[in-house]
Chain A
Amino acid sequence: MHSNKQAFEFFSTMLSKRWIVSLPVILVFIALISGISSLQKDTSSDAFIDPLNPALVANKKIEEVFGLSDPLVIAIVNNTGTGIFTPDSLELVDWVTRTLSKQRNVDPDKIISLATESNIEGDSVGMNVEEFITSTPISNERTSWIKHAIDHFPLYQGLLVSKDHQATIVVAELLDETESSNTYHNIKKLLDDAPLGNGNKLFIAGEGAVSGYLSTYIDNDAKKLNPLAAVIITIILFICFRTLRGIILPNLIVILTAGSTLGAMALFGVDFYVITNGLVVCMIGIAVADSVHIFSQYYTEIASNPSAQRKQIVANTMANVWRPITLTTFTTMAGFLGLAVTSDMPPVIYFGLFGALSVFFAWLFSITILPILLSCLTPKLSKRFLHKSKDTVQRSSFITSVGKAILKRPHVSVWIGAILFLISLVGANQVTVDEERIANFKETEDIFIADKTINSLMDGTYYLDIFIDAKDPEALYQPEILQKIEATQRKLETLPQVGGTTSIVDYIKQMNKAINEDDETYYRIPNNPQLVAQLFLLYFSSGDPTEFEEEIDGERKLALIRANVARNKYSNNKLLVEEMSPWLAKEFSDENVTATLTGRIQVDYEWIDNLAKTNTLSVVVSILAVVIMASLLFKSAVAGFLAFIPVGLSILIIYAVMGISDIWLGVGTSMFASIAIGLGVDFAIHTIDRMKELIANSSKPWAEQLIVLYATTGRALLFNFLAIALGFGVLMTSDVPPLIKFGSLVVISVTTSFIASLAIVPSLVMLFKPKFIYK
């Protein structure tokens, strides 16, 4: 089959000058891989946001001004009926607080608990600021006093102690958020030795623990299952080719491709993000696909000409497959680049850019190193290809029988495809954009249980913050501004998503009440700015100079309103943000004071919202890029359209499955479409290219000629499909929800692309006989 003499000559020359070609390629690989150790992991969710995004900038500012970050929360729960107001429980609070303060990554000055906070109360002569827990053991009398004090300190109800007295929390700020996963585990271990006493239970959650632990959690399970995927792919390769080289060499190409791409990421200082795991899967899929096609052709060549020289066999192989492999490289690269140019989220941009680069690497190694290595080995017949010479093709296997059926009734495939398309269109419309980080953990996981327990008892461990910025120093002593802050708190508290709110106003009101003999009617903002200033002075007569640092700055011009939210779920956050944004715009419209919505809830809302907006555009542009590239390569818009059908259908089916089974379009699932493009385009391009070649080189009836497609290219595509689908399908056995979804996606997308490429595309060609096929 010397369809391309020039290509044959080219590859023959290449094989005769092995070192000249392979040495630079190997050197490039070594240069790239040598820097791989500097590849940094960045699994934070902030990585997904443009660093200049106003919500992120505001969040960094509140971290800087008020010294706040996403905390780790430990709850002491006693639901045996006695509640937490027992000496046992309170001593446990003290123990947990002390233990945390000695923990390396915990800021000892930023722990909030009953053991660190003070009561503010008044009497007939003055105001007392007294720590709730001063020493241990705690007497029954002191316990009753603490209970009474909390019952008369509205700020702490729901925030520090649950309203039903069943729980109290210890909130710890972390010094280095990138270390949060380790800190979570260390603290969890330390708490195993806690003196629990009667009926007390401990739970650890909080955004600091959830976000840090999530990536490690997924990573750990992926680390266990990914090698299994590699083993399964290797087994499939063995079943397909039944030779050692058929297993080792494709794996080598995978290693070269993945190593070079990750090395290039390290070289350019690009971090390894959570979704980069998806890129690794794409790299494996693409590298295996190229190898499978080369090997299928290689064994076909040996079977058809067993006496040929090794170099001649390999050159023949390459002359036949270089074109479809190169075409799929161009189209897949176009798809990935389309993704990169439409996103403004750094991890997605890099997914696109390095995805494209990995496709190039897979191509480079597949058309240089692989044939060179093959040419060094003595050609050996694969038992699987014994009877697959051209003449015997027609009486070949199962796939040929299926092919015959498809070609006999092409309209059936087209109709099934059309019906599937319509059903999927309806299903895909059901997809909802949502994200809840905690939902990525399985429901039996400690952190999941802790999150749900704490958030059902307390005001909430997630925060929506409002950053108040007044024009002049000491402006926050002004009653009008304080009243605006208070009104905003009351507004927030009317929203069902908000458990409670805190601001400096709560302390000012408590101090005003205390200075007025604890008269409840004085639990309000004083009318006199001087009195507000003097209340602060009164408090600081013995208070820590940094006491109100988390609520107000030293100049008294910046303040923070913090709303506690029990669920950090995008759909909840959206309602919250959409309700509060216009409120703040209206209430803080004058130039003397501004209010900015920020905090984890706002930041997460922004980027998921952004993801929702850009996802459709990314998918459309990626597909268009594929279509345009295919049209250019085949010099036909119809060819572009045909290439689009399998990948378009697979994306639509993925969205339909997501819509029907209530899988949200979120952070992890947003990359599904891109992976579908990465893994799916190849099938159609190989099919179209082979059909074109078969029809152009023969005058037989199309149906008869196209049967060869199934026995040759179809067979390679089947191997490719089986390796990827079964290999990554193993992820479905995970009990980590994101990995189950990921595994299912890969199976659905590869299956759809494979079937559509071999059923719908040839059927359409049969029915419409497009010119580009035979010209």
Chain B
Amino acid sequence: MNKFIALSLTCLLTFNAQSQDWTGQEIIENINNRDDGQQVTRSFKIELTDRRGITRTEVTQGYKKYFGDQKKTVIFYKEPTNVRGTAFLTFDYADESKDDDQWLYLPALRRVRRISASDRGDYFLGTDLTYEEIKKEGKYDLSEYNTKLIGQENDNQQLLLKVELTPKTKQLSEELGYSRLITYVDPNIWMSRKIEFWDTNGNALKTIENLHITQIDGYWTVTEIAVKNHKTQHTTRMMFFDIDYKAQIRNDMFTQQQLKRGLR
């Protein structure tokens, strides 16, 4: 028993020492400095559940590749049957003032249609994640947020640092659709395990949980995400598989022609 107390005390002291080493800004910098690789190939399953508990499942194949500081992403729908072959292409530009380019290929129409640039707070492909969250992949532009380390939590013997981020301006807050967020950062891998959001009125908005994080090809990778919107009770679950950071991705994969050709 004494041993247990001593052990707990040691853990606590260690945690304190660890958290005291970092400021909120440094923690976010560490996250932002994490290497995510230059490219990735992955399949993912999306489960969208409405407040009545009815779930719609989509299966897609995605590719992402950096071309300098420009990021190109392409997603091909495999299921459900009705949307098989539908493909979505995005060019993200590092320059924030430049709108992203987006195209969608509708096989039923046999045409690629350009779609209007999404706002940062818009929802991504019917999920509860926004374009901002998809684009930034858990990272944050420190020029836009005030950061504050507000504490720590011990979850399953795992130390999590609680960092609160608040958009610096009201306008930014309205663009993003939230007034603040708290991210629970795992200092061992510099990734968030959980993020809680509050809307512009201060009501609980949603919670993102990175349920599984594993190292693939040397990169820490989220393989399962669950998002719950507390206002609409809509939930999203994304499960990633066949993740490969090494497989070669042809550059012409990110073209309108390839959208039409599909995965053949």
Contact = CB atoms under 8 A, between A and B. Distances in A.
Interface of A: 64-65, 67, 101-102, 108-109, 125-130, 474, 477, 515, 526, 528-535, 537-538, 540-546, 549, 553-555
B198 interface: no
Contact of B80 (A102, A128, A474, A531): A474
B116 A534 contact: no
Interface in B203-252: 203, 229, 231-232, 234, 236
Residue in B48, B50, B103 with the greatest tally of chain A CB atoms within 10 Å: B50
Contact of A531 (B56, B108, B126): B108
B93 interface: no
Interface stretch (B117-125, B141-149, B159-167): B117-125
A61 to B, nearest CB: 11
B160 to A, nearest CB: 28
B50 A554 contact: yes
Interface stretch (B3-11, B27-35, B62-70, B81-89): B81-89
B55 A554 contact: yes
A2 to B, nearest CB: 76
Nearest to B232: A546
Contacts of B109: 515, 531, 534
B83 A127 contact: no
A474 B80 CA distance: 10
Contacts of A109: 231-232
Contact of A130 (B103, B116, B229, B231): B116
B186 to A, nearest CB: 28
Nearest to B122: A542
Contact of A537 (B54, B77, B201): B77
A544 B113 contact: no
B107 interface: yes
Contacts of A526: 108
B106 interface: yes
Contact of A541 (B49, B88, B107, B201): B88
A554 B48 contact: yes
A418 B107 CA distance: 83
B25 interface: no
A368 to B, nearest CB: 58
A545 B104 contact: no
A542 B116 contact: yes
Residue in A109, A535, A538 with the greatest tally of chain B CB atoms within 10 Å: A538
A545 B231 contact: no
B173 to A, nearest CB: 13
B127 interface: yes
B82 A474 contact: yes
Contact of B52 (A65, A125, A515, A529): A65
Nearest to B130: A542
Residue in A474, A526, A534, A541 with the greatest tally of chain B CB atoms within 10 Å: A541
Contacts of B231: 108-109
Contacts of A477: 82
Contact of B50 (A108, A543, A549): A549
B115 interface: yes
Contact of B108 (A108, A129, A530): A530
Contacts of B50: 546, 549, 553-554
A178 to B, nearest CB: 21
Nearest to A102: B201
Nearest to B199: A108
B114 interface: yes
Nearest to A516: B109
Contacts of A542: 115-116, 118-119, 122-124, 131
A125 B234 CA distance: 32
Given A65-B52, A515-B109, A546-B234, 20 more contacts: A64-B52, A126-B104, A130-B116, A530-B82, A530-B83, A531-B109, A534-B83, A537-B77, A538-B106, A538-B115, A540-B125, A540-B126, A542-B115, A542-B118, A542-B122, A542-B124, A545-B126, A545-B234, A554-B52, A554-B56
Contact of B54 (A67, A544, A554): A554
Contacts of B54: 553-555
B118 A531 contact: no
Interface of B: 48-52, 54-56, 77, 80, 82-83, 86, 88, 102-104, 106-109, 113-116, 118-119, 122-128, 131, 201, 203, 229, 231-232, 234, 236
A519 B106 CA distance: 18
A127 B128 CA distance: 22
A474 B81 CA distance: 10
A125 B112 CA distance: 8
A553 B82 contact: no
A549 B50 CA distance: 9
Contacts of A531: 106, 108-109
A515 B113 CA distance: 7
A65 B52 CA distance: 7
A565 B115 CA distance: 36
Contacts of A127: 113, 115-116
Nearest to A477: B82
A129 B114 CA distance: 12
Contacts of A128: 115-116
Residue in B82, B83, B102, B115 with the greatest tally of chain A CB atoms within 10 Å: B82
A134 to B, nearest CB: 9
Nearest to A107: B231
Residue in B88, B104, B118, B127 with the greatest tally of chain A CB atoms within 10 Å: B104
A100 to B, nearest CB: 12
Residue in B50, B54, B126 with the greatest tally of chain A CB atoms within 10 Å: B126
Nearest to A129: B116
Contact of B127 (A64, A126, A545): A545
The 3 A-B pairs of least Cβ separation, nearest first, read A533-B82, A531-B108, A540-B126
A92 to B, nearest CB: 19
Contacts of B123: 540, 542-545
A529 B48 CA distance: 21
Contacts of A529: 82
B113 A126 contact: yes
Nearest to A539: B126
Contacts of B102: 541
B83 A541 contact: no
Contacts of B128: 545
Given A101-B201, A533-B83, A546-B234, A125 B114 contact: yes
A532 B56 CA distance: 16
A530 B80 CA distance: 10
A67 B127 CA distance: 19
A680 to B, nearest CB: 53
Contacts of A541: 88, 102, 104, 115, 118, 125
Contacts of B82: 474, 477, 529-530, 532-534
Contacts of B229: 545
Contacts of B83: 530, 533-534, 537
A534 B107 contact: yes
B163 to A, nearest CB: 27
Contacts of B51: 67
16 contacts: A108-B231, A109-B231, A126-B113, A126-B116, A127-B116, A474-B80, A526-B108, A531-B106, A531-B109, A534-B82, A534-B83, A534-B109, A537-B86, A541-B104, A554-B52, A554-B55
B132 to A, nearest CB: 12
Nearest to B203: A108
Contacts of A537: 77, 83, 86, 104, 106, 125-126
Nearest to B227: A545
Nearest to A535: B106
Residue in B106, B107, B113, B114 with the greatest tally of chain A CB atoms within 10 Å: B113
Nearest to A474: B82
Contacts of B234: 545-546
